[in-house]
Amino acid sequence: MAQGFITRLNGKMTQIFAIITSAGAGDSGKIPALDAAGKLDNSFMPSGIGANSVSVVTSENLTAGDFVNLYDNTSVLTGCKADNTTNREAWGYVTAATTSPAAATVYRLGTTNAARTGLTAGLSYWLGVTGGVISTPLDPVTQTGKMCQFLGIAKSTTELVTAELDPVLL
């Protein structure tokens, strides 16, 4: 529950609580509260400002930290695990697990994926299989037909600072 405050409303002392999400114009004049992560919810932000993300339906289960491919599934933007062996390039990543079919928030590349595990700070990483990463780029001689995509550099064991670069089909 958000913190509350006492105010005079219609001549009486009334306790009012700050709101954690905004429903838009109907919440004008209300005081916002920070969420469990200590941040403002994206619903408070004006259009065009906020997390660089998109909500999509998924075609397979996703695990927090997975890199995600976005594709057209009968005119519906859909997400699945990015994979260098099936040429499904990474368009972003998820920070929460989802069970398909469900809506998932996919954060675009060019931001920090803080939901990974087992990284080594300072190492570069490329797209691996089933939404994962590898620390060695694919060999263009022995890995023909696969897709090599640089994803970024590890900041810590759980954070990958991603780059939005085009993949290369070997």
Write out the chain's pLDDT in tens, 170 residues.
688 889 998 999 999 999 999 998 899 989 999 988 888 888 888 877 877 899 999 999 999 999 999 999 999 999 999 999 999 999 999 999 999 999 999 999 999 999 999 999 999 999 999 999 999 999 999 999 999 999 999 999 999 999 999 999 99
Q: What is the pTM of this model?
A: 0.79
Which residue in the block uniquely carries the two structure tokens 């200590």?
A: 38
Distance CA 129, CA 51 (A): 26
Provide the terminal-to-terminal Cα distance of the chain, rounded to the nearest Å: 53
Which residue in the block uniquely carries the two structure tokens 């085009």?
A: 166
Distance CA 91, CA 61 (A): 17
Structure tokens given for 162: 């991603």
Distance CA 75, CA 77 (A): 7
Distance CA 64, CA 30 (A): 33
